[in-house]
């Protein structure tokens, strides 16, 4: 789905009232009781709690990826909460940048949230983990989220070759060409649909889990959000819209 | 202006003390110490050993003009890998620490390295952030961080206007430019860098460049007066902006024979630049 920035902003302003109220509240960020960090856009459970967005720091190994998503969510005016641990509150959109998903409770929590109707963007930090951490993450992600990863590939080992094309091609939710981040994690998944490829490798996919949707990336997008890559920003904006659309559909089916 | 030369110019196989003796005999005022580039000054060198180096410099009748390093080619502050960036930061911190121990108030940093893999837009942001983190630390130690213009090798901050904007974005008084007048090659003119960035210059590397011989290969660099730099214009610009600090010789090409002679020749050439006998 392609959408212009103008359309996105227009759409965002028509999100449920709680979004707008929260986004315009101008509240000073503060720590939440759950150990998280509340942002201007945070709002308490209410009429629109289904549209709640969580930015999760599950042992994020690339700070700039986390910052990229944070600034993009902020720029889009979407209310979100930053937290380091599982939240007990409902969330329609969950973003997990550069995650070292090596704890069973995290993976299980994510699965339950997605199954309940959330859209989760999980960015694998697999390429930046030790071999043992990568094996553990792969095992958890495979068993809980149905996504398998091959060993990370260093794309620039033969730097200087004319054949090096430093881009990942995304096809969903918007077509986008985004720089690689030196290493990619090839992916496969049960009943999964590829959404991003680097050459012949699938490095991004989506799959339905219960009432929700998992979007799993083997090539980080967050750092490119931080550098102002327009295609990366457009891709993420479209994903935000998809998450909202998915939640509306999930609500209808309840 | 005072004359200095790097301890990495000391002929291979010579001791630090013997090298200092040569530097003094060649009528330099100081020595630039290169962290990680010479056996006597490594990241593992202890504070006590650094202080011993300082004593040797004093014993030779010299002072330490500044602390430089080539380690950031391997550990760029702009690397994608957080671990590499952290090591790059640690290297700068150690430079600041050792500069203070050595009685110097400036260090040289190769800040940011653009490659085919790691693009400019990432390098710029990370480098600004790194300098914003390091600037206050350096200021507290009374040390200036001079980011060197390795234009062709870094593929970064290629013009004086760009460099000025970078320093404005960093916005840390302790972060400035370590100008290398030989590194500008065919992308500009050293004297214009001096004019535009004058008050922000922390130190100046002197060498000459053969502008028509390539961009970044060894043959491009040569001894002072053998290349295409306009030394009269460079000197005039230095006078205009009131630069009265250290000039540090960086001879990238070594004499194949009589290596000590290069020290005397370089020192004499620097005297001519300083006094304007050109």
Could you read off the pLDDT of B203-219 as tens digits, one per residue? 999 999 887 765 555 56
Cβ of A229 within 8 Å of Cβ of B118? The answer is no
Which residues 40-99 on chain B approach chain A with CB closer than 8 angstroms?
Answer: 80-82
Give residue A52's pLDDT: 79
Nearest Cα residue in chain A from B121: A227
- CB burial class (10 A; 0-12, 13-18, 19+) of residue A42? buried
List C-alpha distances in Å: A167 to A232, B29, B81, B90.
11, 52, 18, 32
Give residue B129's pLDDT: 97
Q: List the one residue out of A168, A173, A54 whose CA is nearest residue A116.
A: A54
User: Would you call A179 an interface residue with chain B, using a CB distance cutoff of 8 Å?
Assistant: yes
Residues in chain A within 8 Å Cβ distance of B125:
226-227
Cβ of B82 within 8 Å of Cβ of A62? The answer is yes
Instruction: Mutation target for A interface from B76, B77, B78, B80: give the one with most A CBs within 10 A.
Output: B80
- For A87-186, strand residue ranges (E) read 93-99, 119-124, 147-149, 153-154, 167-170, 176-179, 183-184
Q: Mind listing the pLDDT tens digit for each residue in A170-217?
A: 999 999 999 999 999 999 988 999 999 998 999 999 999 999 999 999
Query: What separation, in Å, do the N-terminal and C-terminal C-alpha atoms of chain B show?
Result: 16
A99 DSSP β-pair partners: A124
Nearest Cα residue in chain B from A155: B117
> What value, to the nearest 5°, has the Cα angle with vertex B149 and ends B147 and B155?
115
User: Would you call A223 an interface residue with chain B, using a CB distance cutoff of 8 Å?
Assistant: yes
Phi, psi (degrees; rounded to nearest 5) at B159: -130, 160
Nearest CA distance, B188 vs chain A (angstrom): 27
All domains of chain A in start order, with CATH: 49-253 (3.40.50.880)
Measure the CA–CA gap between B23 and B4, rounded to whole angstroms. 8
Residues in chain A within 8 Å Cβ distance of B126:
64
Give residue B213's pLDDT: 64
Q: Which two tokens stand for residue A30?
A: 């503060």
- The position carrying tokens 């600041």 is B96
Concatenating the DSSP letter of every residue in B247-277 gives: EEE--SS--SS-HHHHHHHHHHHHHHHHHT-
Helix (H/G/I), strand (E/B), else coil: B61: coil
Give residue A254's pLDDT: 61
Give residue B214's pLDDT: 54
Cβ of A156 within 8 Å of Cβ of B117? The answer is yes
What's the CATH fold of domain B2-275?
A: TIM Barrel (3.20.20)
Helix (H/G/I), strand (E/B), else coil: A57: coil
Nearest CA distance, B166 vs chain A (angstrom): 15
Give residue A244's pLDDT: 84
B140 Cβ contact partners less than 8 Å away, ≥ 6 residues apart: none
Measure the CA–CA gap between A28 and A63, rounded to whole angstroms. 22
Q: Computed over its alpha carbons, how large is the radius of gyration of chain B?
A: 18
Nearest Cα residue in chain B from A158: B117
Positions of chain A with pLDDT under 50: 1-3, 6-50, 162
Give Cα A68 distance to the centre of its chain.
11
Q: How many CA atoms lie within 13 A of A200 on its CB side?
A: 0
Cβ of B116 within 8 Å of Cβ of A61? The answer is no
Q: Mind listing the pLDDT tens digit for each residue in B153-186?
A: 999 999 999 999 999 999 999 999 999 999 998 7
Among candidates A63, A64, A227 on the partner chain, residue whose Cβ is nearest the Cβ of B121: A227
Measure the CA–CA gap between B224 and B182, rounded to whole angstroms. 9
User: Would you call B119 an interface residue with chain A, using a CB distance cutoff of 8 Å?
Assistant: yes
Residues in chain B within 8 Å Cβ distance of A65:
none
Q: List the one residue out of A246, A24, A214 whose CA is nearest residue A124.
A: A214
Q: Mind listing the pLDDT tens digit for each residue in B220-265?
A: 889 999 999 999 999 999 999 999 999 999 998 889 899 999 999 9
Residues in chain B within 8 Å Cβ distance of A62:
82
* Domain edges within chain B: 2-275
Measure the CA–CA gap between A202 and B137, rounded to whole angstroms. 44
Beta-carbon contacts below 8 Å between A and B? 31
């Amino acid at each position: 789905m392609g959408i212009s920035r103008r359309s996105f902003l227009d759409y965002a302003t028509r999100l449920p009232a709680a979004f707008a109220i929260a986004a315009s509240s101008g509240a000073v960020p503060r720590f939440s009781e759950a150990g998280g960090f509340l942002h201007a856009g945070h709002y308490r459970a209410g009429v629109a709690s289904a549209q709640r967005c969580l930015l999760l720091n599950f042992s994020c190994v690339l700070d700039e990826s986390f910052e990229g998503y944070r600034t993009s969510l902020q720029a889009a005016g979407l209310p979100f909460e930053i937290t380091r641990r599982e939240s007990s509150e409902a969330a329609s959109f969950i973003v997990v940048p550069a995650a070292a998903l090596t704890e069973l409770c995290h993976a299980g929590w994510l699965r339950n949230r997605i199954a309940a109707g959330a859209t989760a963007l999980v960015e694998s930090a697999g390429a930046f983990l030790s071999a043992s951490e990568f094996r553990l993450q792969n095992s958890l992600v495979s068993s809980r989220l149905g996504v398998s990863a091959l060993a990370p590939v260093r794309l620039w080992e033969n730097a200087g070759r004319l054949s090096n094309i430093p881009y990942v091609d995304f096809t969903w939710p918007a077509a986008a060409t985004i720089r690689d981040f030196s290493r990619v994690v090839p992916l496969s998944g049960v009943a999964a649909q590829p959404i991003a490829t680097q050459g012949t490798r699938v490095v991004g996919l989506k799959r339905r889990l219960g009432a929700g949707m998992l979007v799993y990336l083997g090539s980080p997008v967050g750092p490119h959000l931080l550098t102002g890559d327009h295609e990366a920003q457009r891709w993420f904006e479209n994903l935000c819209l998809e998450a909202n659309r998915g939640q509306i559909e999930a609500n209808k089916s309840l | 202006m005072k004359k200095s030369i790097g301890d990495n110019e000391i002929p291979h196989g010579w001791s630090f003390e013997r090298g200092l003796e040569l530097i003094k005999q060649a009528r330099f005022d100081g020595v630039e110490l290169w962290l990680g580039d010479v056996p006597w000054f490594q990241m593992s060198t202890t504070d006590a050993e650094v202080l011993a180096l300082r004593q040797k410099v004093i014993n030779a009748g010299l002072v330490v003009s500044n602390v430089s390093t080539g380690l950031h080619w391997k550990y760029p502050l702009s690397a994608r890998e957080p671990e590499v960036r952290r090591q790059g930061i640690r290297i700068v911190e150690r430079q600041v620490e050792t500069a203070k121990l050595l009685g110097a108030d400036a260090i040289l940093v190769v800040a940011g390295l653009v490659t085919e893999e790691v693009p400019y837009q990432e390098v710029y942001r990370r480098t600004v952030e790194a300098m914003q983190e390091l600037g206050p630390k350096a200021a507290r130690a009374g040390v200036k961080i001079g980011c060197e213009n390795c234009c062709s090798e870094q593929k970064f901050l290629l013009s004086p206007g760009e460099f000025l904007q970078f320093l404005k974005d960093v916005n840390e008084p302790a972060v400035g430019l370590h100008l290398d007048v030989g590194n500008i090659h065919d992308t500009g003119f050293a004297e214009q860098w001096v004019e535009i960035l004058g008050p922000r210059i922390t130190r100046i590397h002197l060498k000459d460049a053969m502008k028509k011989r390539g961009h970044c290969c060894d043959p491009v660099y040569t001894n002072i007066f053998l290349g295409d730099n306009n030394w009269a214009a460079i000197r005039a610009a230095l006078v205009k902006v009131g630069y009265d600090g250290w000039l540090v010789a960086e001879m990238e090409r070594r004499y194949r024979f009589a290596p000590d002679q290069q020290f005397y020749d370089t020192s004499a050439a620097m005297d001519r630049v300083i006094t304007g006998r050109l």
